[in-house]
Amino acid sequence: MTPFGERVRQLRAEKSVSLKQMADELEISSAYLSALEHGHKGLPSPMLLRQICTYFGLIWDAAEAVERLAALSDPRVTVDTAGLTPDHTLVANLLARDIARLTPAQLSALLRLLGQEQPALTQV
């Protein structure tokens, strides 16, 4: 699941809306919405993102926070280390290889190192 998908799921729970009901009201398939939440699809289009924010009544900071989560939720990330040092390339490859084995504590440490004090989801 992506940070964006997890946030959408939280918003649905707060509003007591099923995935199917939300999909029907947004005029998209429930399969697509489920795949989007679980990270089996790429990023939502800007239009769909606006529809989702409107659907939940999100404005200003709350809408921007959801937009930031969406931008950080691409499940198929490409890291371009061309022109960087060999160590940059090594780190990118080791992270790609070992990311599934990182513990929650290790993930938190990496987020802090990258200037993300809390998991992105909790900042919404």
- What is the per-residue pLDDT across 40-70, written as a single tens digit (0 to 9) for each? 988 899 999 999 999 999 999 999 999 999 9
Q: What is the pLDDT of residue 123?
A: 45
Segment 85-102 shows an average pLDDT of: 94
pTM confidence score: 0.76
Confidence of residue 12 (pLDDT cuts 50, 70, 90): very high
**Can you give the chain as a three-state secondary structure string?**
CCHHHHHHHHHHHHHCCCHHHHHHHHCCCHHHHHHHHHCCCCCCCHHHHHHHHHHCCCCHHHHHHHHHHHHCCCCCCCCCCCCCCHHHHHHHHHHHHHHHHCCHHHHHHHHHHCCCCCCHHHHC
User: Where along the chain do its domains lie?
Assistant: 3-71, 86-123
Confidence of residue 5 (pLDDT cuts 50, 70, 90): very high
pLDDT at 117 over 80: no
d(CA 72, CA 66): 10
Provide the CATH topology of domain 3-71: 434 Repressor (Amino-terminal Domain) (1.10.260)
Q: What is the pLDDT of residue 124?
A: 43
- In the chain, the amino acid numbered 79 is V
